[in-house]
């Protein structure tokens, strides 16, 4: 990736991801990162990679997916050895999801792939328009969310 991208690339990534989730369009991303993962699996691992242990509901609301979907999704990630799925001690109803060693490595790979993808996208936007694009995407996400 070119050095041209600069520090605003992460912001584009965040904003576009937010837009996608806001619109409820998560599913169709067609894994642009080139990793052997479904789009939602990539998002889940990325979210879990943030560090804090999440419950199924937490993960679901962040990904904007149904809890049933997330349940099956996590089941696959666990089967692949990337996620650790434990019951919370203080409350037997909640699940305490976290990444395994292998899961964290995958999270890093996904993060890198994503960064590259978004950097390419960013490079294709005229430099003097970039700031406006980011600001505007934020407005859109807000507007879409408000419409619900």
3-state secondary structure the chain: CCHHHHHHHHHHHHHHHHHHHHCCCHHHHCCCCCCCCCHHHHHHHHHHCCCCCECHHHHHHHHCCCHHHHHHHHHHHHHCCCEEEEECCCCCCCEEEEECHHHHHHHHHHHHHHHHHHHHHHHCCCHHHHHHHHHHHHHHHHHHHHHC
Q: Residue 62, interface with DNA (CB under 7 A)?
A: no
Stretch near its own copies under the rule CB under 8 A, chosen from 15-23, 49-57, 77-85, 88-96: 15-23
Given 1, 27, 91, 101, the residue binding its own copies (CB under 8 A): 27
Residue matched to tokens 């037997």: 92
Shortest separation between residue 94's beta carbon and DNA, angstroms: 4
- Window 113-142: residues binding its own copies (CB under 8 A): 117, 120-122, 124-126, 129, 132-133, 135-137, 139-140, 142
75 binds, among DNA, its own copies, none (CB under 5 to 8 A by kind): DNA
Q: Residue 26, interface with its own copies (CB under 8 A)?
A: yes
Footprint of its own copies on this chain (CB under 8 A)?
16, 20, 23-30, 32, 117, 120-122, 124-126, 129, 132-133, 135-137, 139-140, 142-144, 146-147
């Amino acid at each position: 990736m070119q050095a041209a991208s600069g520090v605003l690339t992460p912001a584009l990534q965040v904003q576009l991801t937010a837009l996608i989730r806001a619109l409820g369009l998560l599913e169709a991303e067609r894994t642009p990162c080139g990793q052997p993962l479904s789009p939602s699996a990539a998002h889940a691992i990325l979210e879990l990679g943030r560090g804090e242990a999440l419950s199924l509901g937490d993960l679901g609301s962040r990904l904007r997916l149904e809890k049933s979907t997330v349940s099956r999704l996590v089941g696959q990630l666990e089967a692949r050895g990337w996620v650790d799925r434990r019951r919370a001690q203080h409350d037997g109803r909640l699940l305490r999801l976290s990444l395994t060693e292998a899961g964290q490595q995958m999270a890093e790979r996904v993060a890198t792939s994503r960064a590259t993808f978004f950097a390419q996208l960013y490079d294709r936007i005229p430099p003097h328009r970039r700031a406006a694009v980011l600001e505007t995407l934020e407005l859109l996400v807000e507007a879409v969310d408000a419409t619900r």
